[in-house]
Amino acid sequence: MAHRLNTNKQFMVGNGILAFAVIFVVVIFVYMSLRLDKKKDEDRNFIETYTITLTKGFVGDSLSLMINDSVLVNKKITEEPFSIDVKRFAEQSALLIVD
């Protein structure tokens, strides 16, 4: 009797080995990306400062000044011009003035 090939079993074993190889490569890349992000965050020190000046039309208004969801000022403006200096703390920032 001739020797039979067990192609289905060989196919499943090959797919299993390939799946483990893909998982291993994904784990290596995730580990490398997390390690690089940690190094980047440690080196970030910004020396710039923002100067925010409100000159006309804000006297008597209750304002909230926010940068990136951080409340800087939440009070009633009593004098013009109103200025505030803020140290930069992020790569990109968005200023929000709420009346």
Tens of pLDDT, residue by residue over 12-21, are 999 999 999 9
Question: Quick one: average pLDDT of 29-47?
Answer: 74
The answer to which of 18-27, 37-46, 55-64, 90-99 has the lowest mean pLDDT is 37-46
> pTM for the whole thing?
0.51
pLDDT band at 82 (very low <50, low <70, confident <90, very high): confident
Domain boundaries of the chain, sorted by first residue: 1-44, 49-98
Distance (Å, rounded) from C-alpha 58 to C-alpha 95?
A: 17
Percent share of the chain, pLDDT over 90: 20
- Look at residue 28 in the predicted model and tell me its pLDDT: 94
Q: What percent of the chain stands above pLDDT 70?
A: 88
Contact 68, 50 (CB under 8 A): no
Predicted local confidence at residue 55, as pLDDT: 86
Question: Tokens at residue 72, please?
Answer: 């800087």
